[in-house]
Chains A and B, each alone.
Chain A
Amino acid sequence: MKKISIYILIIGLLGIFIGYKVYHKPHINVAKKSIDITITANILLADFSSDETKANAKYLDKIIAVKGRVTKVEFNGEKAAISLQTKDDFGSVVCYLVKDEFKKSAQIKEGQEVVLKGICTGFLMDVILVKCIIINSK
């Protein structure tokens, strides 16, 4: 009888522990995730402009490494947004960086070629990537 109640207690505690772990599951750490798609800013935007539904299926929620020339760096507090050049006059690829990249992003200059890694959330006037980190800047 005593043994059984100990088992029940252990299972109960295990359940609480798992429940707690699932509830507090951490957000995706882009730096640690492997890249799903490597692409240039120009092709990424072109894919969304030509067929948005198809592009949504292909790129949404994916970890994307996007290469392009910087046209603009804007700051909202410690969070940078870097726009990348495309051949389209209208849109670009805008990457919203994580706070941890503040120091690195402050050194990014217009005209510089960069590779940024982030999660694609979709297309408005620009293709939008969030939680971005800088993986290459020359």
Chain B
Amino acid sequence: MSLFLVSFASAQERFLTKKGMISFFSETPIENIEAQNNQVLSIVDATSGKMAISILMKSFMFEKALMQEHFNENYVDSDKYPKATFKGAIIDFDTITTSERSLAIIGNLTIHGETKEITINALTKKTGEVIEMAGDFFINLADFNVKIPSIVKNNISEKIKVSFRFQHKPYKK
């Protein structure tokens, strides 16, 4: 963790949230599955436009306890892979203004020990001391080697919609 932090150059220009929100949604004709995590750590370096996100898999809360159990034990193996991470760069970060606009973020997303490069579009704005970012994107379970047993194949979508909302504030300590 400390390494991860010092990799960002200037401390004054760092914005972060420890209470970022990430949710995901799987939609099938049989059932919809949704989970939300409100303890996401997201850091933006305002000098370089670099971004780093850390997510605890066990912090995803499901409507049904059984789904949560299956998610942790069978699908993402959260004992072995307790975190998902994203490290990337916000393209044209210096064009950020007080009015909301869509910016692309290119980076590596790691889930379940598997890393894939993705591009995410985020509605971004900076008002006062807050950098806000929100958006959604889709991931394929197969890209992260998450295997769904054939018995529940019809209950879980192969494409998962991921939504996020972060309000980064200047980091002071």
Contact = CB atoms under 8 A, between A and B. Distances in A.
A130 interface: yes
A24 B64 contact: yes
Interface string A78-97: 00010000000110001010
Interface stretch (B53-61, B100-108, B134-142): B53-61
Interface residues of A, number: 28
Interface of A: 22-28, 49, 52, 56-57, 60-61, 74, 76, 81, 89-90, 94, 96, 121-126, 128, 130
A23 to B, nearest CB: 6
Nearest to A120: B58
A60 B79 contact: yes
Nearest to A126: B18
B41 interface: yes
Nearest to A23: B66
B66 A125 contact: no
A108 B66 CA distance: 33
A123 B1 contact: yes
Contacts of A123: 1, 56
A25 B65 contact: yes
Interface string B58-98: 11010011101000000000110011000000000000000
16 contacts: A22-B66, A27-B68, A49-B1, A60-B58, A60-B78, A89-B173, A90-B173, A96-B38, A96-B39, A121-B56, A122-B58, A124-B54, A125-B5, A125-B41, A128-B39, A130-B61
B112 interface: no
B19 interface: yes
A111 B53 CA distance: 31
Contact of B65 (A28, A56, A126): A28
A74 B57 CA distance: 23
A27 B65 contact: yes
B118 to A, nearest CB: 21
Contacts of A52: 1
A124 B66 contact: no
A124 B1 contact: yes
